[in-house]
């Protein structure tokens, strides 16, 4: 679950930065530089986030609707932070989702 939490925070932060970059690019300032840098990084981390989300979903046995919520968390700005908090609370309530870290 730690992987999911870290990736959710990284993807959420990058999505906020990407949103700011889109405003700068298409707004009155016309500054596309930030989008050019942040969008591929966000894309990469979002793919890794999807793998971690799938792993968490598979281990918990949640319904498909929960997986859809997790996936949307990385697409809608600021939603990632709320989804991460809710998913982690529910996973901890299940008890078996937290595995010890392996070195």
Spatial distance between the Cα atoms of 73 and 83, rounded to a whole number of angstroms: 6
Look at residue 103 in the predicted model and tell me its pLDDT. 44
Is the pTM here over 0.85, yes or no?
Answer: no
Average model confidence (pLDDT) for the chain?
A: 88
Look at residue 73 in the predicted model and tell me its pLDDT. 87
- Which residue in 15, 31, 12 sits closest to 23, CA to CA? 31
pLDDT digits (tens, 9 = 90+) for 45-90: 999 999 999 999 999 889 999 999 999 988 998 999 999 999 989 8
102 pLDDT above the threshold of 70: no
């Amino acid at each position: 679950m730690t992987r999911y939490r870290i990736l959710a925070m990284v993807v959420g932060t990058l999505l906020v930065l990407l949103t700011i970059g889109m405003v700068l690019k298409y707004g009155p300032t016309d500054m596309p530089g930030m989008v050019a840098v942040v969008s591929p990084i966000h894309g990469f981390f979002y793919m890794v986030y999807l793998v971690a989300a799938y792993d968490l979903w598979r281990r918990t046995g949640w319904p498909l609707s929960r997986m859809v919520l997790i996936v949307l968390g990385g697409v809608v700005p600021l939603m990632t932070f709320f989804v991460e908090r809710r998913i982690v609370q529910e996973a901890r309530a299940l008890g078996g989702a937290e595995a010890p870290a392996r070195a």
